[in-house]
Structure 1
Amino acid sequence: MSAREGQGAGALTARLVLEAPSPTPDGAGGETVSWLPVASLWAEMTPLSGGEALAFERSEPTIRWRIRFRFIAGVEPNMRLRLGERVMEIRAVYDPGGAARAFLECLAEERGQ
């Protein structure tokens, strides 16, 4: 058992909301995306790196996170996690325990903080 697998729920100190996109036709051939809450969860957030990204011809700060929480089926990279007003876009999802399905880890990116 690795040190990471041995960590229990005591490390899960951030209360996050998992959100899924809900596209709605905008009447002009496109769509508007609303975000619907899927689950409220306790998570461990570990910053991996920080930097800047170019968005709409201006530089904005970014933080990359590893976010660990108890296993929930159906978590996908098109979802996001919210901590109050802060939004972390999920880039990758993996189950570090394999078939044990105890925890999930996400790599996520937060912009503009």
Structure 2
Amino acid sequence: MRRAITAGRLRHRAVLEAPEDAPDGAGGVLRGWRALAALSVAVEPVRVTPGERFDAREAIATHRVTCRHRADVARGMRLTSGERRLLILAVHDPDASGRFLRLDCREEA
């Protein structure tokens, strides 16, 4: 059962970051991140599943993040909080009210 979305649940701080690519001088690009805004968020763990990356086993953790509505949040951006990095996979307005956004995220190692 999901709890109702209220502003009081947004008690964690995170920084919204957008990807920023720069030439690496050898014909490729280097991916960097540019901070856009500090947000108050609620983070709920959803699932941890086993996976593999570069022939190594790892756990893939997904989270549901709620924040106040912003027009500039998009898939491919990320949220950071301390050492934690959450890549935004999907963005939607859960109750079509324009008050909050629900972000489906995957935690980056």
Q: For 2:33 and 2:108, how far apart are their aligned partners in 1? A: 17
The superposition leaves residues 8-49 of structure 1 with CA deviations (integer Å, 9 ceiling, x where unpaired) of 211112111110000001111110011011110111111110
Q: What is the deviation of 1:3?
A: 5.6
The letter for the 1-side match of 2:60 is: T
What runs of 5+ residues in structure 2 fail to find an aligned partner? Answer: none
Question: For residue 89 of structure 1, what is the amino acid of its counterpart?
Answer: L
1:30-109 equivalent positions in 2, closer than 5 A: 30-98=28-96, 100-109=97-106
Structure 1 regions of 5+ residues with no counterpart? none
> How many positions carry a matched residue from both structures?
108
* Offset, 1:51: 2.0
Which residue is equivalent to 1:11? Answer: 9
Which secondary structure state, in structure 2, belongs to the residue aligned with residue 10 of structure 1?
Answer: helix
Q: For the structure 1 residues 3 and 84, does the alpha-carbon distance in structure 2 shift closer, same or farther, using more than 3 Å as the test?
A: closer
Percent of aligned pairs with the same amino acid: 36
After superposing on structure 2, the runs of 4+ consecutive aligned residues of structure 1 that deviate more than 4 Å are none
1:64/1:107 contact within 8 Å kept: yes
Amino acid aligned to 2:68 = R
Q: 2 CA distance for matches of 1:55 and 1:111?
A: 12
Q: Secondary structure at the match of 2:27?
A: coil
